[in-house]
Structure 1
Amino acid sequence: MPIASVDTDPQALTLTVVADFTVPVRRLWDAYLDPRQIERFWGPPTFPAVFTRHDGFPGGLSQYCMTGPEGERSCGYWEWVSVEEGRSFEVRDGFAAEGGQPNTELPSMRMTFDFAETALGSRLTTTTYFSSLEELEQLQAMGMMEGMRAAMGQIDAVLADLSSFAAGAGTETQLIGETQARVSRVVRGALPEVWRAFTEEALLRRWQLGPDGWEMTVCETGAEPGTALRSEWRNLESGESFGFVGSVVSAAPPQRLVSTERMVSPSDPDGASRPETLNELTLTASEGGTLVAYLITYPSAEVREAALATGMAEGMEASFARLEAEVLG
């Protein structure tokens, strides 16, 4: 159990939890900033969490839900207030409805996470600030401390798993709910360069090629909301072609880009008959490079299954390998 001390201060309206770890600060920091890792310990063992958004930058948002053994659900959100890379971050933490909207019937809290180096590894000090003594007592009565102890009891196993989250581990696909999939990979390269590689036409043409034997014939891209997007590829041997069209919904350079996408073909050049997906790209600085996370929302489980069956993840892995070579130069 990593928790070293718990201090409740009714006068200051704070709850402070100190936890010690035998890993470097960078490893602990990455565990909190990587949605694949934090969801392994943020919820208690019987209420595992799934993060559908985890921005990690000021003005950003995190959204998650915990699911119990009988299917009961408890959802929450973080509004990211400040981030000092590798040292601390502050969020506004609250309860949420299923759709992610804040639940104003329950209290929200300010939370700070401070990371420090120690002789044996690292220390995390988490301080929760309440608006009133009543709110503090209400959340304690709801089992906040018991849930926190149970959740943090899982973190050591996550920190010990180095290979699953390291650069070079390959592309990982995770199914979320009935209609979403998250595709993740740590790409060797600094975040600003990876952002450029995703948003500049000349760079995209060099790496976003999928499996060997294909060329990109059309590349219209950008990062401004409302920008029309279009990419097309052709098989060098058979002449077969396909592509995607869409538009930018929102952007927070250099960390987040949200766009729509639907497939096009010679017989359907506008993709009018094809289902549309929502693609949420989030880039997060990580040890060894930049964590690239795509959350793709499909219109149905059947459409998701059909998309994954095309070998989409394998094609993305081939492209990510080229992306690494591009940003490392």
Structure 2
Amino acid sequence: MKSNFLMDFTVDKETNKVNVKREFGASLSNVWSAWTEPEILDQWWAPAPWKARTKSMEFKEGGRRLYAMVGPEGEEHWAIADFTSITPKTNFKYLDAFSDSEGNLNVDFPRSDWDVNFSEQGDSTFVDIAIKHKNLEDLEQIIAMGFKEGFTIAMEGLDAIFAEKQK
């Protein structure tokens, strides 16, 4: 399902950043919950037909989310989000990385630094995300792995959750 909501995806090779601005037809409170509560995250974080499954999550500064992206054949790709800063309903930051099922870093893949900002305008909530990579090589590796396509599909999955809530 193609979304009618704004999604601006830019890659800045000068600063090794991906910037995503995404609009959702939902309240700030609902969008914040969708990004910070594992029960909702698991419904949309992975691009369909993949599913996300959170093993553990402590949404607090110094906390961590350990989760798997589970493929249609049952294959699992584990990842961690280490939360570095949280300003409720406004912003949170975390370090993202691939890992094993116990949360040990997979050094074969780059780690990225996410800065996620939330703002409400009328009936919409905007999420502005800056994803910083250590170097251009890391940025290009993530893009080559299909990050833009996968993230776009995941965002549309979140739209579907909000549309269902409005019924």
Q: Does 2:68 match 1:65?
A: yes
Of 110, 117, 121, 1:114 maps to 117
Aligned pairs for 1:3-42 (under 5 A) are 3-42=6-45
- Compute the TM-score of the two structures, normalised by the length of structure 1: 0.48
Of 146, 150, 156, 2:149 maps to 146
Of 61, 76, 80, 2:79 maps to 76
Of 149, 157, 161, 2:160 maps to 157
1:219 counterpart residue number: none
CA contact (8 A) 2:18 2:130 kept: yes
Tell me the distance in 1 between the aligned counterparts of 2:114 and 2:80.
Answer: 12
1:135 counterpart residue number: 138
Tell me the distance in 1 between the aligned counterparts of 2:144 and 2:97.
Answer: 16
Deviation at residue 112 of structure 1 after TM alignment? 0.8
1:97 counterpart residue number: 100
Q: Percent same amino acid among aligned pairs?
A: 26
Secondary structure at the aligned position of 2:148 is classed as: helix
Aligned length: 163
Secondary structure at the aligned position of 2:113 is classed as: strand
Structure 1 regions of 5+ residues with no counterpart? Answer: 164-329
Tell me the distance in 2 between the aligned counterparts of 1:10 and 1:29.
Answer: 29
Tell me the distance in 1 between the aligned counterparts of 2:137 and 2:70.
Answer: 27
Structure 2 regions of 5+ residues with no counterpart? Answer: none
CA contact (8 A) 1:80 1:92 kept: yes
What code does the residue aligned with 1:53 have? S
Deviation at residue 3 of structure 1 after TM alignment? 4.6
Larger relative contact order (CA 8 Å, sep ≥ 6): 2
Deviation at residue 160 of structure 1 after TM alignment? 3.7
The structure whose Rg is larger is 1
CA contact (8 A) 2:25 2:162 kept: no
Tell me the distance in 1 between the aligned counterparts of 2:110 and 2:24.
Answer: 30
